[in-house]
Amino acid sequence: MRSRHDRILDLAERHLSLGVESGIIQRRIEDETLDDAHITIDGRKIVNFSSCAYLGLNRDDRLKRAAIDATERFGTSYSSSPTYTALPLYDTLEERLRQITGGAVAIAQTTTLAHLAALPVMIGPEDLVLIDAQTHDSVHLATRVLKGDGARVEVVAHCDVDALERRLDEVARDYRHVWFLADGVYSMHGDLAPVKEVADLQERFENLYTYYDDAHGFGWQGEHGRGYVLSEVPLNERMVMAAGFAKSFGSVGAVLAFGDPAMARRVRLVGGPLTFSGPIPPPDLGAATASAEFHLTEAYTERQSRLLDDIDWVRSEIVRRQLPVVSLATSPIWFIRVGSPGRVAEMILRLMADGYYLNAAAFPAVAPGDGGVRFAQTLHNSRDQLRGLLDAIEHHLPLVASATDVVIDLTEEADIRIEGSVLEEH
């Protein structure tokens, strides 16, 4: 008999194969150079709403010049673990990130490697981990390492503070530390973690620690772009924030910000990927440093304000048109409910025909049957482009809802309840 693990993978593969066969995922764009808002697919230039470069910094001249300068001075790579030697740009970037976050920092190569560096160092077999069901797969990946080290890991209902509090009341006293793991801005639905409410729980439970992946909130939200999480509460000694540079920040790399300098020092010294992996390449290090310096200027505040105004405008249009979004939170990520994988594929194809590329979102990105289309707005996108996209969604949504569906056999799904990542079993 095939295991539940294999059946979950089969289900995910069937869903994803439909996307590949439909031509809506795993596409290679045909552009030899990029402009701000468009990509070319099948010879047609279409507006790209799948980018997470929220502030448009990935094509900013300051970042491009900094990347070129760092390449000219240091080459395309510096092949040494930062444990031994690192480029001087690391010092500059770390100082700027301290100013932005208000905490002690460690720099990692990616957000995934940041999680794998920090969590196994901070969390031991005497600890309990409670992870929000919709936390990013990269954090769930790190919890598998924690399980292997003997820590207990439990999934808790998404953004349900009451459920979290009940579980803490039941078990917090039985563990050295209880760690709550969550996203700041959730990458699929664009909804927000209840950061202030969880901080209040830390007042009640002195052994409660929090760890947030704020990859989709960092850069565009908060003072100097410190992110959604740190715009809600400042760092405390029992709090860690992780964020990547690959979204709004316009580069590659990641930062871990700690309220406890001793914890930051330990992770920097013994965190596996920070010790045994290579550094951020010079071009990305140069771009990240330039981005961090830009975030500390008045020009950044003006750019941030433009994006926030655009987010408010899109929200008002979604409400006026009564589109079925999952969340109306202040974030640049919007998720329109569509339903089955077949209807998601049909909706994406219709929008591509109208000149817009969006993300198809079905299992394993979301729970089975809860599929939809996801679009992210950036400063690359004009109000006219946003209006045109919303017009197209409003037009096609009822047509797709009444269209003949593409059926996928989900008979093996009946006893599979997906709350976390694709490999999580319950």
Share of the chain above pLDDT 70, in %: 94
- Tens-digit pLDDT profile for residues 321-341: 999 999 999 999 999 999 988
Q: Rounded distance, CA 221 to CA 230, Å? A: 9
Q: Which residue bears the tokens 């997470």?
A: 52
pLDDT score recorded for residue 422:
38
Given phi > 0 = left and psi -120 to 50 = alpha, else beta, which region is 322?
left
Q: Is the pLDDT of residue 404 over 70?
A: no
| Domains by residue range for the chain, with CATH | 4-54+298-413 (3.90.1150.10), 61-295 (3.40.640.10)
Whether the pLDDT of residue 412 is over 70: the answer is: no
DSSP assignment of 303-362: HHHHHHHHHHHHHHHHHHHT--BS--SSSSEEEEEEESHHHHHHHHHHHHHTTEE-EEE-
How far lies 249's CA from each of 56, 157, 215, 284, in Å? 9, 30, 10, 11
pLDDT band of 2, cuts 50, 70, 90:
confident
Prior bond of 341 cis (ω within 30°) = no
The 10s digit of each residue's pLDDT in 162-218 is 999 999 999 999 999 999 999 999 999 999 999 999 999 999 999 999 999 999 999
Please name the helix (run of DSSP H) or strand (run of DSSP E) that holds residue 154, with its range, or none: strand 152-156
Checking if the pLDDT of 410 tops 70, the result is: no
pLDDT, mean of residues 244-248: 97
Count other C-beta atoms under 10 Å from residue 426's C-beta. Answer: 10
> Residue 406 — very low, low, confident or very high, per pLDDT cuts 50/70/90?
low
Longest CA span, the chain: 62
CA–chain centroid gap for 379, Å, is 18
d(CA 210, CA 237): 10
Q: How far apart are CA 12 and CA 421, in angstroms?
A: 11
What's the pTM? 0.92
DSSP 171: H
> Which three-class secondary structure string do you get for 359-375?
EEECCCCCCCCCEEEEE
**HSE of 393 in the Cβ direction (CA atoms, 13 Å)?**
28
Let me know how long the chain is.
Answer: 426
Q: What is the pLDDT of residues 4-61, one digit of tens each?
A: 878 878 877 887 887 888 888 888 999 999 988 999 999 999 999 999 999 999 999 9
- Helices (DSSP H) in 205-249: which residue ranges? 228-232
Percent of the chain with pLDDT over 90: 82
Better pLDDT: 411 or 297: 297
85 vs 406, higher pLDDT? 85
The tens digit of pLDDT for each residue in 281-303 reads 999 999 999 999 999 999 999 99
| Chain center to CA of 357 | 19
Taking the CA atoms of residue 27, residue 365, residue 422 and residue 162 in that order, the dihedral angle to the nearest 10 degrees is: 160
Query: Each residue of 83-118: pLDDT tens digit?
Result: 899 999 999 999 999 999 999 999 999 999 999 999
Sign of CA dihedral 318, 319, 321, 324: positive
How many CB atoms sit inside 10 A of residue 286's CB? 28
Taking the CA of residue 52 as centre, how many other CA atoms within 13 Å lie in the half-sphere pointing to its CB?
A: 22
Burial of 312 (0-12, 13-18, 19+ CB in 10 A): exposed
Q: 89-101 vs 282-295: helix axis angle to the nearest 10?
A: 30
C-alpha R_g of the chain: 22
Where does the pLDDT of residue 366 fall: very low under 50, low under 70, confident under 90, or very high at 90 and above?
A: confident
Average pLDDT estimate for 378-402: 96
Residue 126 CB contacts under 8 Å (≥ 6 apart), including other chains: 175, 176, 177
Q: What is the dihedral of CA 185, 379, 389, 183, to 10 degrees?
A: -10
